[in-house]
Amino acid sequence: MTCIHNKQASEKVNELIRKMNDADSSLYEKLGKYVSEEEVDALLNTSKTSCTVRTINTIRRDDLYNHLSVIFDILKSCECRNEIAKEYNELAVKSSATNCEKNIMQLQVASLQTRTEHYLSQLTDTRQMLENKVEAIIRLENRLEGKDSQIDNLRNRLSDLKLDNSAKVGEF
């Protein structure tokens, strides 16, 4: 988007430059004629009888002020600057809201990380408890196997005793 006010101000600046480059423009005021100092010295020394006369021009302050005032008025009337400022402010508000959302999300992530660490700690504790229970079950199974062995031994002995008893009853 090109601002029309900038274009107008640029045209006025170029117009002022053209007038400044043109010694016959209305921008200049003629102060009169002068003779260079060297020529005056030479004339006084009578080594020269003719002089070159030049005209001194100066810029009219009022005219320059008027040109510059027009340029500044054009730039002051520019609403594009206000539109850009409004867009900037809207972007600043959006940026602030985005930063706020980002901070909230960072807090949520930190909270989730804390909860995750807590759950991991609980999981580790649960695994340790499970390992302890598995070890207890293995000890119980080992004791049970020992008891089963004792029961088998007792059964074998009982069978032997029954056989001995049957044999003794058969003897009577």
Q: What is the pLDDT of residues 8-50, one digit of tens each?
A: 878 888 888 877 777 777 777 766 677 677 777 777 776 655 6
Q: Would you call 54 exposed, middle or buried from its count of C-beta atoms within 10 A (0-12, 13-18, 19+)? A: exposed
The rounded distance, in Å, linking the Cα atoms of 23 and 15 is 14
pLDDT at 172: 65
Q: Which of 46-60, 89-103, 130-144 has the weakest average pLDDT?
A: 46-60
Q: What is the pLDDT of residues 110-167, one digit of tens each?
A: 999 999 999 999 999 999 999 999 999 999 999 999 999 999 999 999 998 888 888 7
**Cα 156-161-164 angle, rounded to 5 deg:** 130
pLDDT at 22: 78
Token readout for 116 is 């995750």
Q: Where are the domains of the chain?
A: 4-78
| DSSP-assigned states of every residue in 98-126 | HHHHHHHHHHHHHHHHHHHHHHHHHHHHH
